[in-house]
A and B are shown apart, each in its own frame.
Chain A
Amino acid sequence: MGFQQINKTLIITVLLLHTAIKIISAAEEEPTLELYKTKLGLNYTKKTSGDKILMARLTSRVERKWIGIKNAEVYFYAQVDTTDTLLGKTKTDDNGESVLHISASRILKNYSDDFIFKVKFEGNETYTGAEKELKIRNVEMIISLSEVDSIKTVNIEVYETDSISEKLPLEDVDVYFYVTRLFGLLKIGEGWLINGKSSIEFPNDLPGDTTGNLTIVARIEDNEVYGNVEVRENIDWGIAISHNPGNTARELWTRTAPLWMIISLVSLLSFAWIIYIMLFYNMYRIRKTGSISNNNID
């Protein structure tokens, strides 16, 4: 019995050891590669023309920082009649951003009259996949500009359209007003919608282009229900700025060069050339005295 008991214990020990070695070697042979987790953000903007822009940002947390993943393929979908329809695929740029333009004519609405967008990254050998859904209620924004007794007003009207084409004005939504400048937007005021309407008085001191034209922008920004909606309108309410500096013919003696510069350059060059003339005269003197000396020798 004693011998059998020892034998059993030995066999179990050997089996256990074998299993343990197998597990360890298997773990060594197939190291599990941990993928970086990713996150997708999705942003919606509706433009004046009715075109929509979807912007996705794919990020990953590397060394405790969220960094954009570049060159990743991102798929955009819209839920139309309960099915996901592919809108398009794009690649992310250096910041992990990817943009999709959707034409105004494209039908996106589903049974609930809302837009349901989805963006998807399928993952690769380094990153896990990710997706994000965004539900947006479509609104119409109309801008109108009026001038009464030289008071210029920017008016906004925003409404939803229900299933029987009835206008439903928006309430208590913030609206921001801007004018476009060379490198961005200049804020000129903000308001909120009462019965779907809002207005601001336009300032009189903004510079426009050569004929006073400028572009006024009204926006609903980062709204949870409506996303970003903007309208733009051009009007000559700016101060006309003339950049004509007068006669700027490109010529040597133009007044555009500062006087001190002209004086310095001309004096330096003249100084050198006066010395050259002196040297040439001295060469002439060498030749002249040489001939006299020769005559003397003769």
Chain B
Amino acid sequence: MIADNKNPEINNLVVKLLKKTGKKGYYWGFFLLLIVIAGTYALVIQITKGHIVTGMRDNVAWGLYIANFIFFMGLSYASAIISGLLRLFRVSWRRPVIRITDLMTIISAIIGPLYILLCIGRIDRLHHLIVYARIQSPIIWDVFAISTFLIGGIIILYLGLIEDFALLRDNHFIKAGKLRKRLYKLLALRYNKSPEQTKILYNNLDLISALLIPVAIILSTILSWVFGLTLRPGWNSTIFGPYFVFASIYSGIAAIIVALWIFRKAYHLEKYITKVHFIKLGILLLVLSILYGYFTFNEYFSIWYSSEKWDTKLLAKLFDFSQYGWLFIFSNYVGILLPIIVVAVPWLRRINNIAVVSVIVIISLWIKRYIIVVPTLETTLFPIQDTREAWINYSPTWVEWSITIGGVAMICLLFMLVSRLIPIMPLKEALDKEKIGNKNIVPELWDFNK
């Protein structure tokens, strides 16, 4: 038995995390479910009527879906990298962050690829991807690699949960049904905190963490190659690999901050998820925003300075306020400068401010993906004349928007459902923290009490 049934703190936390869903929870769940149903309805329309119900045409064959795919996969890769680094470097403040990070790795990696499937005109020929696979294509590398990565993500989440399953198995304060108890027992793998078991478990966690970091970096780079290896303006760039990696981590940190903020409010975890966590993650956000900004500047400056005809046409679209100008400003200025200001200025460095800025970063990075994909496809090498406007320029339809919003709702719903079954914060590590105390939490470099 590893549970400390006499420890009121841990019992309190267990009860808090796995309490029955309240009225508010049901309302939220129902609301999210409605959005998911609306998205599913749109999906059925797309499958039955074909791509004609989307804004995608011969010329601009990618739109919202591919932007969603890159965005969600980016979140997933970033979460794996962040989770791996936090574990490997034994970062003291990792505890409340790590489970959310692991969950985000899996949930985003499940939802993200669904969007790329929606770009396929003949979904009934999906199996051709494997049967007639072309190993030269980065898209095939993605198919194999994402599946491998997803399994790695599930393994890391499960390994991190084993101690908690054991604790839940042994804790008598949880009002759980027989089935759930049985499930906890099964998943706990007879873990009883023996030195041998603990050693194996932590070695496993280190190993998978160390594996997933390079895998996520490679995958993020492969994702960038889907564009970077193509001779199109704004895509054919040598820095696209690292640019995608940093953009992913940047959006990943922002998403983790937002998720932390939501769970902190929803489960009243103010004692466990403190200002320290937000500021630490905020600092990471600041560093990443600088790095990301540096890459962004490099990318556009080299395109602009070289003045290649085709690239110049693309830039003209991006700088034109009647086309993509505002989106460009929002994603490349607001989304980069705002986190720097909010985290760097002490009196602005507040939990809510950091959370709001993170939401802005998430939106700006989604828009960034959109303006990477669509304006380039609209900038054709050969002039297109005497044809319909909709065939040259892309504008998403309600079907695409519904499926997009449905996907976001699905992610929230999955988070909600999973958090009903497993603790959203590692119980075992929280228990340890109670025993060890809070001594090493505040480092000297930053004054977190300001």
Contact = CB atoms under 8 A, between A and B. Distances in A.
Given A276-B155, A290-B190, A294-B192, A282 B197 contact: no
Interface stretch (B176-184, B198-206, B442-450): B198-206
A293 interface: yes
A66 interface: no
Contacts of A262: 135
Given A94-B385, A265-B135, A265-B141, A272 B197 contact: no
Interface in B350-396: 383, 385
B133 interface: yes
A252 interface: yes
Nearest to B134: A250
Contacts of B134: 250, 254, 256-257
B204 A256 contact: no
Contacts of A252: 130, 133, 135
Interface string A237-256: 00000000000001111101
Interface size class of B (residues with CB under 8 A): 20 to 34
A1 B191 CA distance: 134
A294 B190 contact: yes
Contacts of A276: 151-152, 155
A263 B201 CA distance: 32
B211 A272 contact: yes
Contacts of A261: 135-136
Contact of A293 (B141, B159, B197, B215): B197
Contact of B204 (A257, A272, A279, A290): A279
A290 B136 contact: no
A160 B189 CA distance: 100
Interface string A127-142: 0000000000000000
A254 B135 contact: yes
Given A286-B197, A286-B200, A290-B197, A275 B207 contact: yes
B194 A290 contact: yes
Nearest to A250: B132
A289 B196 contact: yes
B208 interface: yes
A291 B190 contact: yes
A265 B207 contact: no
A93 B134 CA distance: 42
Given A287-B189, A290-B189, A290-B197, A269 B145 contact: yes
A272 B136 contact: no
A35 B201 CA distance: 84
Contact of A285 (B200, B207, B383): B200
Nearest to A93: B385
A269 B144 contact: yes
A268 interface: yes
Given A278-B207, A282-B203, A272 B191 contact: no
Contacts of A269: 144-145, 148
Contacts of B200: 282, 285-286, 289
B445 to A, nearest CB: 35
Contacts of B314: none
Interface string B229-261: 000000000000000000000000000000000
Given A269-B144, A276-B155, A279-B159, A293 B133 contact: no
Nearest to B145: A269
Given A272-B215, A276-B155, A286 B190 contact: yes
Nearest to A285: B200
B386 to A, nearest CB: 8
Nearest to A283: B189
A215 B75 CA distance: 57
Interface string B118-150: 000000000000111111100001001100100
Contacts of A257: 134-136
Which of B155, B192, B385 gathers most chain A CB within 10 Å?
A: B192
A275 B190 contact: no
A279 B155 contact: yes
A94 B383 CA distance: 10
A287 B190 contact: yes
A165 to B, nearest CB: 43
B70 interface: no
Nearest to B215: A272
A289 B144 contact: no
In the complex, which of the residues A262, A278, A285 has the most CB atoms of chain B within 10 Å of its own CB atom?
A: A285
A246 B131 CA distance: 20
B208 A268 contact: no
Given A265-B135, A265-B141, A289 B194 contact: yes
B218 interface: yes
B133 A251 contact: yes
A273 B189 CA distance: 22
A290 B191 contact: yes
B162 interface: yes
Given A278-B207, A286-B200, 9 more contacts: A93-B385, A253-B135, A265-B141, A275-B208, A279-B155, A285-B200, A286-B191, A287-B189, A289-B194
Interface of A: 93-94, 250-254, 256-258, 261-262, 265, 268-269, 272-273, 275-276, 278-279, 282-283, 285-287, 289-291, 293-294, 297
Which 6 A-B pairs rank lowest in CB-CB distance, beginning with the nearest? A290-B190, A257-B135, A250-B132, A287-B189, A293-B194, A252-B133
18 contacts: A94-B383, A252-B133, A254-B134, A256-B136, A265-B141, A269-B144, A275-B208, A278-B207, A282-B200, A283-B189, A287-B190, A289-B190, A289-B194, A289-B196, A290-B190, A290-B194, A290-B197, A293-B197
